[in-house]
Structure 1
Amino acid sequence: MSEKFYAKSPGNEGYIKNMEVVAYHDADNHYLFQSQLYKTADGKYYLYGGCFYGYGVEIIDVTDPANPRHVQYMPVMDPEVYPYMSTPKVQIADDLMIVSNGNCLEFLHGPAPEKYTPAPGGVHIFSLKEDPEHPKKLSFWSTGDEGNPGAGVHRFTYNGGKYLHLSATAVGFKDFIYRIVDISDPTNPHEVGRWWNPGQFYGNQTKKTREKEWNGWQGYNTYPGFVHFPYVDGDTTYLSCAGGGFKILDVSNPEWPQVIGEAKMTPPFATKFGGALCHTFMPIHGTKYAIGMQEGERQWTYNKNDFDKFGVQAMCGIEMFDISDPEDPVLISVLPYPEVPEDFPYKNFNDLGYGYPTSFGPHNLHEPMTGKPWLEDRSDRAYDCYFHAGLRVYDISDPYVPKEIAYFIPPNPEKLCFDVKMPNKPLGTAEDLVVDDRGYIYMNAMHDGVYILKCLV
């Protein structure tokens, strides 16, 4: 296999270290966001990709990773009715596929149509058991705020069993809160519990407080944050709360989630303008450690007006925590800044030639879960899609001294999947990834399909 296999065109080859590109698939020209894997009883592997700007799920047969096969792009709602909708996240376990539903974000996807019908917020539930190439629709659970659903459901966890754990909008609340939905009968899902950060419940606010909006979607300087991602392991939820830090909750009684401990992160990390500041927090299985991260942003979201307003953004990074005492999670190390290739056109990933430092940081970690045996689950390794720094692989065998060991920065996209204005040429971007139990890495590149890779170390 040629080492230039991943080149898009002469001079647009990306950057690679200690990895190999096994295959590339254009994902039927859809912009994939989160992907999930499913392994059938007879050993076939399928990749299901949600779309941050789109109306369905891309299905690819990856049984032979070197020859991925497009199966179908499966609509979950009618794009003629809902032209600005988003199906960003997918979770799969117990032969069920759950797909989140909501609307796009103007700062990220460009302006909405002048007149359009907002898509309802919620989750679609499908069965994969009968035919994984043609999922069977079982139900749709609605957030209940049809009049103003916003982004609806964003990140969530399904690790099998009775409950979905959602970051979702709700009537009477500001932004995403934590909602727990019983799907023991997947044809009749219903909410059983919820939790939120102080300041999110409108009923506790004065008119003056309610009218004070935030300065940036992460909740800068107005309230502690919104619930971005509940990662659930047994009866424990590891909650990422944007500006509110990381929290550990006891959910043994899902009707009454209880905070056990927390780690405040902002400040000093991610203080002004980023994505969901505290983005992901999850345990390293078989150890007393956890990994957490703050989200940066993509190149065009932090423009000169934002820089003039906010100034320099504080570091967004990836950290290791000792959680041997869940009441007192302790930060013990910070993973290194991504290595900059020698021939990269800019001196670092904060300086992208704009004349001011952009908002930069990691995005999505590979998320092993106990209910998904087809996923790689190593206690000595972490993977992160680091936006314009590409896919990064870390040795975390010593959590006090984590080391970067490999990377892949994809080639720059040669087309865009939605209407955004970029001040410079579009840069290759790693969005999300998942790793199977064979060691194959499936990395979604913004605007630019799926790369299938192997780590060589």
Structure 2
Amino acid sequence: MTDTQLPVPDFARNMRLIGHSDQGGRADGVQLMVHRGYAYIGHMFSKGFSVVDVRDPRRPATVAYMPAPPNTWNIHLQTHDNLLLVINAKDMFAATEFQDERAYYQGSLGKKVGTAQRSAGIRNWRAGLAVYDISQGDAPREIGFMPVEGGGIHRVWYTGGRWAYASALLDGFSDYIFITIDMSDPCHPREAGRFWLPGMHVAADETPSWPAEWRYGLHHPIVHGDTAYCAWRDAGLVMLDVADRSAPKLITHRNWSPPFGGGTHNCLPLPDRDLLVVLDEAVLDHQEDGEKFIWLFDVREPSNPVSISTFPGPRETEYWRKPGHFGPHNLHENRPGSYVSSQLIFATYQNAGVRAFDVSDPYRPVEVAAFVPPQPARLMDHRPNRPNVIQSSDVFVDAEGLVYSTDYNGGLYILEFQA
């Protein structure tokens, strides 16, 4: 695809589009990893995951599609060296009970899926973690699988070595909890430890202390050293000591919901500055769940993280009036081998595209670049009454500084950051 054929953005400042892909007609993308010249992209509605050759970022080419097992989604994945880790879980957005997305984002997910009370019902999805060999980048080959009893795994964190970390919806629990995974034998990964907030183990007669409409469930952790920084949706920030991977221990738990709207999605440590970027996800249209923020915390004292600022939201137009979700969704997470910075933070804002922020002054984050894709060519979201609108999902910045962003409806965008 040449520059003259590229989609024309609705808005751009200090970011220039250089490549675009509809991912072989499967233009819905969630998490992506760019690794050794290939983009691995999990799908929200097209099932499975795709591989896009981005060695020439101006001419991305879809080279493989790996279908998911029946009734299963593969929305999140991780790469390191010759390994690709792919989550397997119930395809929530294909399920009848979640066609109204409010049902997914509010209340105990385990009770709705039927796993909280160790239901004996038939499970017609594959639940666990799949491991692929990607030594041949365009031809992933499954070499291992770790099954779990329950809804499955939502998102995983893996940067090499023995340990991976994930959120898992397991039988007997109200929602996703934290687990550690021993990857010493990639062909036979196994669970090694777990942590949950008191009240989540309902099969053991624990009683939740939070309102029934809240989602007290782990989205995912980011681990640095022996500390796991966990985004626990409506429960906010949970920091864990994982020096003993078999027995994670609570360091601190901070929650700001209410008065704010919950949905904590990413907790990104900036360890050289003792800072933590925390993003709350917007999950309903027109800010029905309130205005969501990206927060900056001072974590010099791990037992007492303190919020010191919020990032400015997009202001060039009233995006909250636009169809779809408006607000933060995901961060570039400074993975080893990618672009790593404690000064420049990249985020997606759903119907407001991709944003970059300078946090050199931690008390005054400043937006320095933005890119808003145009209306997608077609709607990929199959749920009823969803609008054909961009929903920028994930952002990944490679070591050379190229910015890659997925969209639920609009495909893969490849950008040059020009600030």
Q: Deviations over 1:119-158 (max 9, x none)?
A: 12111101122x111122111111123xxx2xx2112201
User: Where do 1:11-50 residues align within 5 Å?
Assistant: 13-30=9-26, 31-39=28-36, 45-50=37-42
Q: Deviations over 1:239-289 (max 9, x none)?
A: 111121102111010111011123222122215xxxxx1111121142211
SS in structure 2 at match of 1:259:
strand
SS in structure 2 at match of 1:350:
helix
- Where does structure 1 differ by over 4 angstroms across 4 or more consecutive aligned residues? 1-4, 108-111
211, 214, 219: which is aligned to 2:212?
A: 214
TM-score (norm 2): 0.87
Residue type of the alignment partner of 1:292: V
1:427 counterpart = 2:419 = no
Alignment: residue pair count: 393
CA distance in structure 2 between the partners assigned to 1:256 and 1:237 by the alignment: 12
The alpha-carbon deviation at position 443 of structure 1 amounts to 0.6
User: Where do 1:37-436 residues align within 5 Å?
Assistant: 37-39=34-36, 45-77=37-69, 82=70, 84-106=71-93, 107=98, 118-129=124-135, 131-145=136-150, 149=151, 152-205=152-205, 214-215=212-213, 218-219=214-215, 225-270=216-261, 277-297=263-283, 299=285, 313-341=289-317, 348-352=318-322, 360-369=326-335, 372-373=336-337, 375-422=338-385, 425-436=387-398
The alpha-carbon deviation at position 200 of structure 1 amounts to 0.8
Structure 2 contact 381–408 (Cα < 8 Å) conserved: no
Q: Deviations over 1:27-79 (max 9, x none)?
A: 1122211001212xxxxx111001122432211111111111221112353xx
Q: Note closer, same or farther for the CA distance 1:398–1:4 as it changes in structure 2 (3 Å cut).
A: farther
CA distance in structure 2 between the partners assigned to 1:201 and 1:88 by the alignment: 26
400, 425, 441: which is aligned to 2:403?
A: 441
Q: Note closer, same or farther for the CA distance 1:198–1:104 as it changes in structure 2 (3 Å cut).
A: same
Runs of 5+ consecutive residues of structure 1 not aligned to the other structure:
8-12, 40-44, 220-224, 272-276, 342-347
Structure 1 contact 376–437 (Cα < 8 Å) conserved: yes
Q: Note closer, same or farther for the CA distance 1:74–1:5 as it changes in structure 2 (3 Å cut).
A: same
CA distance in structure 1 between the partners assigned to 2:44 and 2:200 by the alignment: 25
Runs of 5+ consecutive residues of structure 2 not aligned to the other structure:
104-121
Structure 1 contact 313–359 (Cα < 8 Å) conserved: no
Residue type of the alignment partner of 1:26: D
Residue type of the alignment partner of 2:149: G
Q: Which residue of 1 is the match for residue 115 of structure 2?
A: none
TM-score (norm 1): 0.80
The alpha-carbon deviation at position 298 of structure 1 amounts to 5.4
Q: Which residue of 2 is the match for residue 452 of structure 1?
A: 414
Q: Deviations over 1:409-455 (max 9, x none)?
A: 111123122422336x4222211111101111111011221000011
CA distance in structure 1 between the partners assigned to 2:212 and 2:5 by the alignment: 46
Q: Deviations over 1:175-198 (max 9, x none)?
A: 111111111001111111000012
Q: Note closer, same or farther for the CA distance 1:59–1:20 as it changes in structure 2 (3 Å cut).
A: same
